Structure 1
């Protein structure tokens, strides 16, 4: 992923998280465990288990000492980890925001039922 596209992805994520009327950053972060549980139990159909698995692989890649591009190649080795990190954060924050909206709609539906 080119440097410009990583910066664009980070900017897009920031704009989405800071948009008025959408769940804020900490609301999204706190929703991540519920999102994972909802996907695993099959309650939340907004995200498949395949995408969740890809995110888990991204996390493993970031923390793993084994990389496609070794970290001792300082600029290049760290850049690939950073690219995966940006993708993972953008994906998790975007998905958790949609999950929070889904929870809110579901809660409103329960309240309106007699």
Structure 2
């Protein structure tokens, strides 16, 4: 991605971040992304669908790829817009999914702590 595209994508992503009302910080959600992907790939976190994970990967590859559907040299404004749009879409997906993952992680840890403290309690489903 060219320097101008990265700057525009960063500005658009920052707008997405500012418009979220979550109590889970952006940094915590960003830090959870590798854990979320690892948990999904290992089968521990089935809430993230394979299709959504593949979509995120496709968006990431499109953003970092030097090949664009709308080249900046031929159509300058739209050439930048498609990269910015892909970056905003990916950022939005990652923020939402990682927020759900952090909540899932927290709930899972609480359940495990409860069962360790109360081994006689029947497991809940």
Structure 2 length as normaliser, TM-score?
0.75
Question: Is structure 2 residue 63 aligned with structure 1 residue 59?
Answer: no
- Equivalence for 2:46: 45
- Equivalence for 1:98: 100
After TM superposition, give the deviation of residue 61 of structure 1 in Å.
0.5
Paired residues in the alignment total: 102
Q: Name the one with the larger helix percent.
A: 1
After TM superposition, give the deviation of residue 14 of structure 1 in Å.
3.2
| Structure 2: gaps (5+ residues) | 1-11, 119-125
Moved over 2 A (4+): 13-16
After TM superposition, give the deviation of residue 15 of structure 1 in Å.
3.3
Q: Deviations over 1:16-35 (max 9, x none)?
A: 3x43xx21100000000000
After TM superposition, give the deviation of residue 49 of structure 1 in Å.
1.4
Output the CA distance in 2 between the equivalents of 1:103 and 1:74.
43
Question: Where do 1:74-85 residues align within 5 Å?
Answer: 74-85=76-87
The structure whose Rg is larger is 2
| Structure 1: gaps (5+ residues) | 1-6
Question: Is structure 2 residue 18 aligned with structure 1 residue 14?
Answer: yes
